[in-house]
Amino acid sequence: MAKTIKAPRGTKLTCKNWRTEAIYRMLHNNLENAERPDDLIVYGGTGKAARNWECFDAIKRSLKNLEEDETLLIQSGKPVGIFRTFENSPRVLICNSNLVGNWSNWEHFNSLEAKGLMMYGQMTAGSWCYIGTQGIIQGTYETFAALATRHFKGSLKGKFCLSGGMGGMSGAQPLSIKMAGGVALIVEVDPKRIRRRLDAGFCDYMTHDYKEALDMARESAKEKKAVSIGLVGNCADILPDMLRKGIIPDVVTDQTSAHDELNGYVPAGYWGSALKDCDSLRESDPKGYKKRSAESMKAHCKAIVGMQKKGAIAFDYGNNLRGQAQKAGLADAFAYPGFVLAYVRPLFCEGRGPFRWIAQTGDPEDILATDKAILKMFPKNKLLMNWIELAEEYLPWEGLPARVCWLGYGERDRFAKHMNSMVRKGDIGPISITRDHLDSGSVASPYRETEGMMDGTDAVADWPMLNALLNCASGADMVAMHNGGGVGIGLSQHSGMIVVCDGTKDTDRRIERVFRSDPGTGVMRHADAGYPLAKKTAREKGVKIPMMK
């Protein structure tokens, strides 16, 4: 029987206070926006909100009864303990998919998961911070806007951008490219995913016809018309064919679930109605399936490298396609850079990253009121001004109404405190504030956020662990520590957090600490690695770094 999970709305409390209530609602909101809610899978192939339905129900009961000085512990989607702490301590602490180094691989994880002892939390899935496609769209827009500034004089107007995937995270690509002025052709194996993006307004057109999609993309680029097109197909078939025919896009990337050879990536030859055969193969011959996936990822990546050699701007969008292709024998899989290395790192050096907030009452007017407030607070930030206008024009509400934008060190705490004062005055209902795990100081991922660090510390995981510990000490309402994310088990460590604006003075004090500490760890981390911009930011903003020269 299908399950319908919907986040509570309004001002009536299910839990004993708003700090816990907001976390309770965000857990439900994850599944309201999920790709496969019946399986508790939120996005990214197997990224879950809870280990199983028994655990989900136990988490709900625990949150409903949690006292103001208690902390609930979640181990890979299972509630395992409630302890007396302090009123300003986190209400929930989460650890997902974390394995000791030598055992941190898919084989050991899959064995434990099969026994019901673990789950894959992805990033915001297992920390209950997912807000639908709207959560990643501004970061995707920021990336394509930075690419446009670097390569095309500030606009993607008239540029043909090719990518793969329209799942929970990748579904932001078509609208982000369109908002940046470009033509987006996104290849997706599952027509249901494209249809979902069409219905939500994230994509303009859907077709099963390869030639029609190419003709539409090239004609729109010629006319300099911003359009997004979803093609039902398989990247491992389409991209190599395009390369053979000399059809080279201006920009090529990918956001398929390439971190997972078995449950994420779909091998060449399968898409649309053939997906049922793919499911049968996965169950009957998992080893054979994984072998086909590996060969397909190799062909997929090889085509991107080939397009790059023919003049396309190519970048990896954090799904480990390059790593999987290299493992499958493609020597030059890393010929093109990751997106952080290519476009985002200067923002991280300033402590800038994805700040997001959610209206807990479910009233969109609360978000529109905060839009006005943020525009009034930061009138000189032209990129922010432009983004809020675009968001109000293009973005649909998904689940609990939410907004996301990129704010830097010294901006997050100011705006968060202002929103808490709006709650206190009764101008808006309670607000929860979170961010993507992809942030300035919250992640170690050598194939993504920390690729090519100046001092070679790409794989040092101390930094996100310090970030999580400091957020606990600073009074965040939820803190999470995960292994894996979009690149897979053993390839990253990252942390997430939530702070709930309930209008109280105590929350003002928590905000002052958390939203200085959280982005401040990013400034610290990049300054320690030797980046001059991070050192400059630390000096100007008063981030104390004992041994900085």
- Beta-ladder partners of 78: 75
Cα–Cα distances (Å) from 58 to 24, 54, 127, 416, in that order, read: 12, 6, 16, 31
Rounded to whole angstroms, what are the CA distances from 515 to 313, 338, 475?
35, 27, 10
| One-character DSSP codes across 316-329 | B-SS-HHHHHHHTT
pLDDT attached to residue 192: 94
What was the pLDDT predicted at 2? 59
Please, what are the averages of pLDDT over each run of 10 residues along the chain (549 residues)? Answer: 84 97 98 94 91 98 98 98 97 98 95 96 95 84 91 95 89 92 97 92 94 97 97 97 98 91 89 90 92 96 98 92 95 95 92 95 98 96 88 90 94 97 98 93 93 96 98 98 90 96 98 97 98 97 95
3-class SS letters over 376-437: HHCCCCHHHHHHHHHHHHHCCCCCCCEEEEEECCCCHHHHHHHHHHHHHHCCCCCEEEEECC
pLDDT at 495: 97
Any idea what DSSP says for residue 51?
A: S
Q: Residue 405 catalytic?
A: yes
Structure tokens, 260: 């997972």
Q: Note the pLDDT of residue 1.
A: 46
Of the candidates 402, 509, 467, which has an alpha carbon nearest to the alpha carbon of residue 26? 402
Per DSSP bridges, beta strands 402-407 and 353-359 are antiparallel
Please state which CATH class domain 134-336 belongs to. alpha beta
Neighbours of 271 (CB within 10 A): 23
pLDDT, position 135: 79
Q: Report the pLDDT value the prediction gives residue 22, as an integer from 0 to 100.
A: 98
pTM: 0.87
Q: Which of 95, 203, 405, 472 is catalytic?
A: 405
Residue with tokens 């600490």: 513
Cβ-based neighbours of 356, under 8 Å, separated by 6 or more: 129, 131, 135, 402, 403, 404, 405, 433, 434, 435, 436
Q: How far apart are alpha carbons 449 and 521 in whole angstroms? A: 14
Say if CB 161 and CB 122 are below 8 A apart: no
Look at residues 298, 300, 235, 292 and name the one whose alpha carbon lies nearest to residue 262: 292
**CA distances in angstroms from 320 to 128, 295, 326, 365, 526, listed in the order given:** 23, 14, 10, 39, 23
Nearest Cα to Cα of residue 123 among 262, 18, 259, 265:
259
pLDDT at 169: 75
* Alpha-carbon gap, residue 523 to 519, rounded angstroms: 7
> What is the biggest distance separating any 2 CA atoms in the chain, rounded to whole angstroms?
65
Angle at the Cα of 189 (from 135 to 181), degrees rounded to 5?
A: 50
Q: Where do the DSSP E strands lie in 189-255? A: 205-207, 227-232, 251-252
Q: How far apart are CA 123 and CA 315, in angstroms?
A: 21
